[in-house]
Amino acid sequence: MKILHNPRCSKSRETLRLLEESGKDVEIIEYLKDTPSEEELRKVLALLGIPAEQLVRKNEGIYKENFQGKSLSEAEWIKAMITFPKLIERPVVIDGNRAVIGRPPENVKQLL
C-alpha cells in the first residue's frame, strides 16, 4: 500500500495509523517533498475515478488566491496540483488498482 501523506495533517496521521495498525506494509510518500509527476497524478485520479478538480483542496489559500471561480481543464488542474502540491487532497491511499481519499480516515477500511 502507498499513502500520499502530509505529516502535519491530523487526518493524514490518523489514516496512516489505521494502515499501520492493520499490519499492512505501507510506503509513505510525503507529496509536499516528493510531488507526484503528471503521469503519477493521472494514475491516482484514474484509480479514484474522479476528475482532477475533485482532488483539489478548495480551502487552501493558494486555491482561493489563484483558482477560485476559474474553470480549468483537466490538464490545467493537474498542472496546478503539481505546481502547488498543497492543493492535493490528503491523504490518498493506494492499494494495487484501488485508491481512496482518507477523509474521513475510516474510508481506508474499504481497502483493508
- Residues carrying an active site annotation: 9
Residue 105, C-alpha cell as written in the block: 480516515
Picking from 47, 48, 52, 3, the residue whose alpha carbon sits closest to that of residue 28 is 3
Q: Please, what is the angle between helix 38-48 and helix 74-83, to 10°?
A: 120
- Compute the distance between CA of residue 20 and CA of residue 61 in angstroms, rounded to an integer: 31
Contact between 12 and 102 (Cβ < 8 Å): yes
SS3 42: helix
